[in-house]
């Protein structure tokens, strides 16, 4: 940590700060300037919190020197993490397509979509069993029934299956039925849930919250990694801005920046950010071109009767056209899309 | 719902939409304009979702006519809700001061602060037992031990005590020990948790999320009300904006607007928004003047050794000055502060 | 316009509103519902302002039916506008690369960069003569001297040249020296300036403001179009969000959405959004893939001694690699990049 | 400036940076740490720009040590600036009420409102002659005619009069007719305009832009101060956030924070932020309680026929009630309101 002190700080105040630092078994380096003085901390700065230093009224600003997250950082772990889920490798040169309906609505619907996707070559199938809904009066998901359908699809069609986990009390039953667990935007900072999925032996897809910074998002990943689960996939799903033309604003700058900060795979969900079908193909192409390791796309056999996210799901036919277009874009950036 | 259709819509498309509406046992009213046509839905519009209507590609815009939340709305419940917690009335003419340390750190610390506050006239005591921390490496709270200290303070000093609930698995033990339960900004849309506290017989302080809209926040309240718990207190704690000068931006416009939309009490936590001591007195005065029904203020006997939120806690001495100043402001808007 | 009235509105109030509408030579259509009543305006709704209708205290919400901008709208002008600047066509199938230094610093520097870019095949050269700087103590541009250098480059190397106009008093001298005029983010809503460039016979590159909505941006374009200048190119340059990891957040969703709303060409400036070199190549590829009609890239022969935007300018060597990569991405979406 | 270097930086790179710093006649202080190294600049850091230092690829972060604005800073000018406009003192213990219609619509309207306000005790009268309108089709103001009406009101009623300046070409005529010049939110960073009003001998009311940070706002003030005009009044008018319930979000935290950073007076315009009448009284009270030095309130004799901002103007009657209420709040924080 580096601290800039306010003008007019007294020697007594500086001594108080140095004393505080030394009590944490760290060393302080004081540098008295003409107008402002600076104090640096030497040693493991995670022993002391930024907010404590800020609580001294004569401290103007505090700047951390070390990256505050560790296990997620590329500084400590320079090689890309490549996650293998039943043979599908996420985070390597291949870009992974994850597709399926927003919600599992019935066995028939789920199988019809899965069969169509499987035929096109898709290897990972998505579908929610529990739905986080803004309104308590909206469809809340089929629950256990949906989990069983997903497992059946996984087994019979040889697809990797994933679903969202919201309620910590469902962790065992979810982990038992699916191959990957998704944590949605409203739970990015549900720390108790993060700790629990950190103890599970399944890859975790961790979406950003609609207003988490990249640093907070990496801290959320750190909660999972810290419990021993190294298989975390970050998924950009849009952030909240002042712009009303889309539901959220897809932040594609996240991809190159996270690729520098962390070794974890980063994928993109363009559907929830857009909130409507129109921009999804263009945003998907942009996601591939910008360097994403995968895509999460909602596909429904009859969007207009879908029980959730009706406006943003593609038909299998539209999806197939997009899937082929994306393969061309992937090739243009020297990758392959599967 | 009112729908504006895109230019060039065909009669066939309009028929398809009308058919869809009628399948939901609602009536459609079609009005063909010179350039744009409009379709209105007659009947209980909660039977159909806005996103479904938006999923028709020829629908340009959808505007709900009825308020989407019901139990929280002043339209249905015009009288102010006044919540009585062991004799303290929240939501009436009196403004309620809720004060105490960010975290309960030890029995000694907690009692020292509580005794000082009690002496000044404060009736409601706050203190966290579980701490939602961005970093997994930060102090996470004393847990059950803190809950027991809070109960002891409640019983021995005759104070109403409150604490934050994060993990749904702790709901029983928390409800057993405290008089009011606080839901923090990271759990405003943790719907499973909201449903569970909706079944508890204790008042709930529901903070806004750092980027929830007022409508989403009222929907979150609706989740609790819908389960039968009518005692919800909304607490504004700042929103996330582009401005780095404060941790969050306290949105005081929320108070007069929520007072019009809902009958629930609305209080303000100026400390988390500010993130530092300096602006807290001014923002507290503004909160009283703007019409808040209460304040949530962090007070610590020794902020610089606090285990959390060191920078934003007031000393008992500073708090006492502020408390007296606030009583004067309250009087100037014809209310009293207790 | 459609207006939803508050519950409990009286017949007298409705009459007052109808009267007000009829005074504007428009017709009102009143529809009394069970809980809410609705009033629609029949006729040219631009005759009456949304805010006036909102000023009636019993009006709950107002929804415009017609698009408020006209000349910029694809509803009125369905065909793409393709702008021809000395043979370079912007807005057609070709994607246009616009490259050059942030500021013109000297004739030598400007020619060195221009010559290198010309050799690679770039046809449009950028360079600022006047710099909008947050700090009054930063380099403010060479002014007229820079304009002359740009003209010389245009004439001698056969490049199309563009520069930013900030001060309305410079409009003549700028229009005399360059082939295209750029309006920067701080002047997107400088309406007097917009009206004046609307009278100039040069294409205008109009950047979004850091917090203008798409609708406000289209209105800004409308100011120019309304004065008779039909050659407006929209340029996305990032918006202000809460995320500190980039200077601004590049909003690529803008491209497919604007392409639906307007017939004007839309290009992307990834450099100002990023604020640093690292993410520029990835964001440029994404811009091409998402459907942009052009790119605005800063190239400097020696970024570390640049007098402005040092951190976000590419070297000619790095630019050449990117330029070739972008041609491949363009091809993958069936376009060519020049 | 303090720079944190990336891990793995070489001695050669550090030398290059030190060399660069010394070329600017500054000294570098290098401190090699175990994991990260730090370089500090000794001397006047305004000689070198932050972005230049960031352009070195091995520099991870740069933190300024000195405040980048000077004349606006309380560090250099510790005493409050109190501005005297024809006997009205702004920035001292008195809180100044500035009231009047959004736009000057006719001599009759302007005088009627002014006379009513004068009678109540208001000393400063506002009214726009030129209107910045999002739409080119909206009322754009009476121009010179309005300026003459304002001057007449000033002379005949003995009121201080102010108006907005948008177009640099009108600076002389505006300065000739009014006593104070207002710079609106769309021109906060119109640097050429700022420089020109810096040469005028009239106090300037400088509003924040809808997305300027406090630092950028103070830099805008610096542009004016730097040209010799020391009479700048900052006016908070709301910022753009994701919340749609108000037009903008009034950021009252600005007041205590600016009061610490700068010696300039700070006033509040609650009307433009709210965008509707309802919340204006509550927000005005909050503004007084939070420590504002003045208020800017829109008053219209017949809001429903106002030619601009119809929804957010108070009637003289409503204003009078509010004015008296505000005097009580002012007294409760030991100030008087005039």
What ipTM goes with this model? 0.94
Residues B247-264 as b or e (16 or more Cβ within 10 Å = b): bbbbbbbbbbbbbebbbb
CA dist B143 and B130 (Å) reads: 5
pLDDT at A123: 98
In the predicted model, what is the mean pLDDT of residues B192-203? 97
pLDDT above 70: percentage of residues in chain B: 100
pLDDT at B17: 93
pLDDT at B221: 97
Give the pLDDT confidence of D93-128 residue by residue, as tens digits: 999 999 999 999 999 999 999 999 999 999 999 999
Instruction: Report yes or no: D38 and A65 within 8 Å, Cβ to Cβ.
Output: yes
pLDDT at D44: 85
CA dist C247 and A257 (Å) reads: 12
pLDDT at B199: 97
Q: How many CB pairs under 8 A join B and C?
A: 40
- How is residue A68 written in tokens? 């505050």
What band does D266 get if pLDDT is binned at 50, 70 and 90?
very high
Maximal C-alpha separation, chain B = 76
What band does B185 get if pLDDT is binned at 50, 70 and 90?
very high
| Of C209, C199, A330, A247, nearest in space to B54 by CA | A247
CA dist C238 and C272 (Å) reads: 7
E strand spans, chain C: 2-5, 27-32, 37-42, 59-63, 83-85, 88-90, 94-100, 124-126, 160-164, 180-183, 204-207, 232-236, 266-268, 294-298, 336-337
pLDDT at B43: 85
Q: Decide if pLDDT at D271 tops 90.
A: yes
Asked if D329's CB is within 8 angstroms of B333's CB, the reply is yes
Q: Decide if pLDDT at A216 tops 90.
A: yes
| Continuous segment of H or E residues that includes residue D234 | strand D232-236
Residues B76-112 as b or e (16 or more Cβ within 10 Å = b): ebeeebebebeebebbeebbbbbbbbbbbbeeebbbb
pLDDT above 70: percentage of residues in chain C: 100
Asked if A31's CB is within 8 angstroms of D4's CB, the reply is no
CA dist C283 and B336 (Å) reads: 57
Give the list of residues 6+ apart from residue A176 with CB closer than 8 angstroms, or none.
A147
Q: What are phi and psi of C50, to 5 degrees?
A: -55, -40
Q: Which residues of chain D have a CB within 8 Å of the CB of B253? A: 245-246, 249-250, 273-274, 279, 283
**B296 C-beta neighbours (distance < 10 Å), count:** 27
Asked if D219's CB is within 8 angstroms of C135's CB, the reply is yes
- The highest-confidence range among A72-76, D45-49, D315-319, by mean pLDDT, is D315-319
In the predicted model, what is the mean pLDDT of residues C110-122? 98
C245 touches chain B (CB under 8 A): no
CA dist B21 and B50 (Å) reads: 12
CA dist D112 and C237 (Å) reads: 46
pLDDT at B121: 97
pLDDT at D221: 97
CA dist A77 and A222 (Å) reads: 13
What band does B272 get if pLDDT is binned at 50, 70 and 90?
very high
Asked if C226's CB is within 8 angstroms of D136's CB, the reply is yes
pLDDT at A118: 98
Our measurement of the distance from residue B231's CA atom to the centroid of its chain's CA atoms, rounded to an integer in Å, reads: 12
pLDDT at D216: 95
Residues D278-309 as b or e (16 or more Cβ within 10 Å = b): bbbbbbbbbbbbbbbbbbbbbbbbebbebbbb
CA dist D84 and D98 (Å) reads: 14
What band does B303 get if pLDDT is binned at 50, 70 and 90?
confident
pLDDT at C215: 94
| Continuous segment of H or E residues that includes residue D162 | strand D160-164
What band does D289 get if pLDDT is binned at 50, 70 and 90?
very high
Ordered DSSP codes for A108-168: HHHHHHHHHHHHHT--EEE-BSS---SSTTS----THHHHHHHHHHHHHH--EEEEE---G
pLDDT at A327: 98
Tell me the CA end-to-end span of chain D in Å, nearest whole number: 45
Q: Which residues of chain A have a CB within 8 Å of the CB of D33? A: 42, 65
pLDDT at A131: 87
pLDDT at B137: 82
Q: How many CB pairs under 8 A join B and D?
A: 124
Q: What are phi and psi of D303, to 5 degrees?
A: -50, -35
CA dist D280 and D270 (Å) reads: 6
Give the list of residues 6+ apart from residue A116 with CB closer than 8 angstroms, or none.
A299, A301, A316
pLDDT at B36: 87
Q: What are phi and psi of B123, to 5 degrees?
A: -110, -20
Neighbours of chain D (3+ CB pairs under 8 A): A, B, C
- A328, closest residue in chain C (CA to CA): C332
What are residue D176's DSSP bridge partners? none
pLDDT at C256: 97
pLDDT at B222: 96
Q: What DSSP character marks residue C6? A: P
- How is residue A245 written in tokens? 């033309």
Which residue would you say has higher pLDDT here, A230 or C54?
A: A230
Q: Which residues of chain D have a CB within 8 Å of the CB of A35? A: 66
pLDDT at B14: 94
What band does B265 get if pLDDT is binned at 50, 70 and 90?
very high
CA dist A201 and A174 (Å) reads: 12
Opening angle at CA B106, ends B103 and B108, nearest 5: 120
Please state, in angstroms and as integers, the Cα–Cα distance from residue C247 to each residue in A52, C126, D60, D132, following that order.
Answer: 28, 21, 15, 28
Q: Decide if pLDDT at A14 tops 90.
A: yes
SS (HEC) of A208-253: CCCCCCHHHHHHHHHHHHCCCCCCEEEEECCECCCCCCCCCECCCC
pLDDT at D43: 85
CA dist D72 and B21 (Å) reads: 61
Q: Which residues of chain A have a CB within 8 Å of the CB of D248? A: none
Neighbours of chain B (3+ CB pairs under 8 A): A, C, D
pLDDT at A66: 83
Q: How many CA atoms lie within 13 A of D20 on its CB side?
A: 20
- How is residue C118 written in tokens? 């010309």
Asked if C277's CB is within 8 angstroms of D55's CB, the reply is yes
Q: What are phi and psi of B109, to 5 degrees?
A: -60, -50
What band does B290 get if pLDDT is binned at 50, 70 and 90?
very high
| Domains of chain D with CATH codes | 2-63 (3.30.70.1140), 83-337 (3.20.20.70)
Instruction: Report yes or no: C252 and A250 within 8 Å, Cβ to Cβ.
Output: yes
Asked if A65's CB is within 8 angstroms of D63's CB, the reply is no
Instruction: Report yes or no: B168 and A190 within 8 Å, Cβ to Cβ.
Output: no
The alpha carbon torsion through C319, C324, C326, C329 (nearest 10 deg) reads: -160
Q: Which residues of chain A have a CB within 8 Å of the CB of C210? A: none
Q: Decide if pLDDT at C147 tops 90.
A: yes
Residues A251-273 as b or e (16 or more Cβ within 10 Å = b): bbbbbbbbbebbbbbbbbbbbbb
A69 touches chain B (CB under 8 A): yes
In the predicted model, what is the mean pLDDT of residues B28-42? 88
CA dist D274 and D78 (Å) reads: 33
Residue C15, helix vs strand vs coil: helix
Give the pLDDT confidence of C149-178 residue by residue, as tens digits: 999 999 999 999 999 999 999 999 999 999
Please state, in angstroms and as integers, the Cα–Cα distance from residue C138 to each residue in C309, D5, D72, following that order.
Answer: 11, 25, 17
pLDDT at D136: 84
What band does A266 get if pLDDT is binned at 50, 70 and 90?
very high
- C48, closest residue in chain D (CA to CA): D138
In the predicted model, what is the mean pLDDT of residues B253-279? 95
- D60, closest residue in chain A (CA to CA): A65
Q: Is the overall model pTM greater than 0.90, yes or no?
A: yes
In the predicted model, what is the mean pLDDT of residues A137-156? 94
Which residue would you say has higher pLDDT here, B20 or A133?
A: B20
What band does D86 get if pLDDT is binned at 50, 70 and 90?
very high
Q: Decide if pLDDT at C76 tops 90.
A: no
pLDDT above 90: percentage of residues in chain A: 80
Residue C81, helix vs strand vs coil: coil
pLDDT at C110: 97
In the predicted model, what is the mean pLDDT of residues A141-170? 97
pLDDT at C51: 82
pLDDT at A303: 85
In the predicted model, what is the mean pLDDT of residues D193-220? 97
> Measured on CA atoms in the order D286, D292, D293, D298, is the torsion positive or negative?
negative
In the predicted model, what is the mean pLDDT of residues B65-86? 92
Q: Decide if pLDDT at B47 tops 90.
A: no
Give the list of residues 6+ apart from residue C225 with CB closer than 8 angstroms, or none.
C71, C72, C198, C232
Identity of the residue in D36, D65, D241 whose CB atom sits nearest the CB atom of A65: D36
Q: Decide if pLDDT at B327 tops 90.
A: yes
pLDDT at B161: 98
Tell me the CA end-to-end span of chain A in Å, nearest whole number: 45
Q: Decide if pLDDT at D52 tops 90.
A: no
Which residue would you say has higher pLDDT here, A165 or A32?
A: A165
D273 touches chain B (CB under 8 A): yes
Tell me the CA end-to-end span of chain C in Å, nearest whole number: 45
pLDDT at D295: 98
């Amino acid at each position: 940590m580096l601290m800039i002190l306010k003008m007019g700080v007294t020697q007594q105040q500086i001594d108080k700060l140095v004393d505080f630092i030394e009590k944490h078994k760290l060393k302080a380096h004081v540098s008295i300037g003409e107008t402002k003085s600076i104090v640096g901390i030497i040693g493991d700065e995670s022993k002391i919190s930024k907010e404590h230093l800020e609580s001294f009224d004569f401290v103007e600003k505090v700047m951390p020197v070390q990256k505050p997250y560790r296990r997620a950082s590329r500084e400590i772990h320079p090689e890309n993490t490549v996650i293998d889920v039943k043979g599908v490798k996420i985070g390597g040169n291949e870009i992974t397509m994850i597709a399926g309906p927003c919600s599992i609505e019935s066995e028939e619907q789920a199988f019809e979509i899965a069969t169509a996707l499987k035929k096109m070559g898709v290897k990972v199938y998505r579908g929610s069993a529990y739905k986080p809904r803004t309104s308590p009066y909206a469809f809340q998901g089929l629950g256990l029934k949906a989990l069983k359908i997903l497992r059946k699809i996984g087994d019979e069609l040889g697809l990797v299956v994933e679903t969202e986990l919201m309620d910590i009390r469902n962790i065992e039953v979810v982990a038992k039925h699916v191959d990957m667990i998704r944590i949605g935007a409203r739970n990015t900072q549900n720390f108790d849930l993060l700790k629990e999925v950190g103890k599970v032996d399944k890859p975790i897809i961790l979406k950003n919250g609609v207003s988490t910074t990249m640093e907070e998002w990496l801290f959320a990943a750190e909660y999972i990694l810290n419990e021993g689960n190294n298989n975390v996939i970050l998924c950009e799903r849009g952030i909240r801005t002042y712009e009303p033309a889309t539901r959220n604003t897809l932040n594609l700058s996240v991809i190159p920046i996270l690729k520098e900060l962390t070794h974890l795979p980063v994928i993109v969900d363009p559907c929830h950010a857009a909130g409507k079908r129109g921009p999804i193909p263009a945003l998907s192409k942009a996601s591939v071109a910008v360097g994403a390791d995968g895509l999460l796309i909602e596909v429904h056999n009859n969007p207009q009767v879908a029980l959730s996210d009706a406006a943003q799901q593609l038909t299998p036919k539209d999806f197939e056209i997009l899937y082929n277009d994306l393969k061309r874009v992937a090739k243009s950036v020297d990758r392959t899309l599967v």
